[in-house]
Structure 1
Amino acid sequence: MNKKAQLSLIELHSIGWLVVFVVLLVPPAAADIYIYIDSQGVMHFTNAPTSSDYQVYLKERPKRRGGGIDTNRFDRYIDEAATLHGVDFPLLKAVIRAESAFDPKAVSKKGALGLMQIMPANLEAFQVHDPFDPWQNIMGGARYLKSLIKRFKGQVPLALAAYNAGPRTVDVHRGIPPIQETEEYVKRVMKFFYLYRNG
């Protein structure tokens, strides 16, 4: 190999490392949350605004690397909501873990918000003014979960299926609907429920 070719390989190698170094220095993009309140007073949340009517509601900070999630961080709110609404603490905590992995700023692809992933259309009914406030979100989600447990006569798996797919879907199928996402969701929540109950 001649000196010119050797030099080119060294230059390419150096450029490759420079690209890797620059990529590592660039912080990950943060997904901001936008809000728009229409003429009916309905709040619309999105992370991809489609018009200038949307205003920034929440500036998301990039997640810090390292360090796990404190799964006990919201226990006092969960305990309060469980006591107030008559829902088992381990069940409520299991739903939060399955829904958002304890991320109070979570937003799903379908637009569900906060710890218990409440849909914007349900915020008013669940008495939630700020879906990203952990206390309000847990209280609203617990209130809804309690109503589903009552509706399905204490059958927790059916209540969980309704929380995921909607109560009408459960009514139509007269049981857990044959939807893979819902079936897996019920199994996941029940697994976490037993884990927290026996932990």
Structure 2
Amino acid sequence: MLNKSGLKWGHKLKLQAAKALTGCVFLLLAPAVIADTPAVYRYQQANGVTAFSDRAPKNRPYIKVRFDCFACDLKSTVNWHNTPLFLKKYQHEIATAALHHQLDPALLRAIIHAESAFNPKALSKSGAAGLMQLMPDTATEVGVKDIWHQQQNIQGGASYLAFLLKRYKGDIKLAMAAYNAGPGAVDKHQGIPPYAETQTYVERVQLLWSRYQQASQAS
């Protein structure tokens, strides 16, 4: 399904669905609601290909997978107010992607920090990979040929973030929430979903963003 910008995000959103699995996987034959966490649904298409969606498929068995990410862990002991920032890593790649997609470099840096803690080899059990935790389908949609190529991964994540910002008319909180839980969840709840992990993610990304902005201005 094409969105207004012409990209096929539809129900196959990579979602940073790509967050390191929190652990529990539930095999379901009918929809079930977990109110405090975002989820991605893994199922087999008619052609046998495994697919991921932010919405439960109809009339098809699926597995509901709960996702986590570096900044989503509700039990995290990290002090987000003073945890060390990554100010030097990927300066050229982030600056180039931010300029190309008209994004604040500090925001990109904050999301990379939240998603992977700047680990270019980060890989979730769902297949989300790299610095910005891209799902393979999404990577393909945004023209990423090598998901492990750090510059391509950052460009792809920036492209997806720019798409979300356009979709939500520049509302950064909604774009952050959609990056974490998927646009389907944001649209369904007409705002930040009532998932503890997503709400925590948005708060922490905002804090990191502010800190990266301050650090940039001070340098």
TM bucket normalised to smaller: 0.5 to 0.7
* Partner of residue 117 from structure 2, selected from 101, 105, 126: 101
What is the TM-score normalised by the length of structure 1? Answer: 0.64
Paired residues for 1:81-120 under 5 Å: 81-120=97-136
Per-residue deviation at 1:85? Answer: 0.5
Q: What stretches of structure 2 of length at least 5 have no aligned partner?
A: 1-46, 52-83
Structure 2 counterpart of 1:146 = 162
Alignment of 1:124 onto 2:140: yes
Structure 2 counterpart of 1:183 = 199
How far apart, in 1, do the equivalents of 2:123 and 2:204 lie? 19
For residues 95-115 of structure 1, what are the alpha-carbon distances to aligned partners after superposition, in whole Å with 9 as ceiling and x for unaligned? 000000011110023321000
Q: Is the 8 A contact 2:177 2:201 kept in 1?
A: yes
How far apart, in 2, do the equivalents of 1:94 and 1:69 lie? 9
Alignment of 1:164 onto 2:195: no
Q: Is the 8 A contact 1:43 1:120 kept in 2?
A: no
Structure with the larger RCO, 1 or 2 (CA within 8 Å, 6+ apart): 2
For residues 111-144 of structure 1, what are the alpha-carbon distances to aligned partners after superposition, in whole Å with 9 as ceiling and x for unaligned? 2100000012212101111111110000000000
Q: What stretches of structure 1 of length at least 5 have no aligned partner?
A: 1-39, 45-67
Paired residues for 1:2-81 under 5 Å: 71-81=87-97
Amino acid corresponding to residue 184 of structure 2 in structure 1: R
For residues 54-107 of structure 1, what are the alpha-carbon distances to aligned partners after superposition, in whole Å with 9 as ceiling and x for unaligned? xxxxxxxxxxxxxx9964221110000000100111000000000000111100
Amino acid corresponding to residue 185 of structure 1 in structure 2: Y
What is the TM-score normalised by the length of structure 2? Answer: 0.59
How far apart, in 1, do the equivalents of 2:177 and 2:86 lie? 27
Cα distance change of structure 1 residues 151 and 164 upon mapping to structure 2, 3 Å threshold? same
Amino acid corresponding to residue 139 of structure 1 in structure 2: Q
How far apart, in 2, do the equivalents of 1:184 and 1:134 lie? 26
Amino acid corresponding to residue 154 of structure 1 in structure 2: G
Larger relative strand fraction: 2
Question: Which structure 1 residue ranges, 4+ long, deviate > 4 Å from structure 2?
Answer: 68-71
Structure 2 counterpart of 1:6 = none
Larger relative helix fraction: 1
Q: Secondary structure at the match of 2:140?
A: coil
How far apart, in 2, do the equivalents of 1:154 and 1:122 lie? 21
Cα distance change of structure 1 residues 69 and 127 upon mapping to structure 2, 3 Å threshold? same
Amino acid corresponding to residue 165 of structure 2 in structure 1: I
How far apart, in 2, do the equivalents of 1:69 and 1:107 lie? 21
How far apart, in 1, do the equivalents of 2:153 and 2:118 lie? 12
Instruction: Report the count of equivalent residues.
Output: 136
Q: Is the 8 A contact 1:71 1:102 kept in 2?
A: no
Cα distance change of structure 1 residues 80 and 43 upon mapping to structure 2, 3 Å threshold? farther
Q: Is the 8 A contact 2:106 2:213 kept in 1?
A: yes
Of stretches 69-78 and 84-93 in structure 1, the one that deviates more from structure 2 is: 69-78
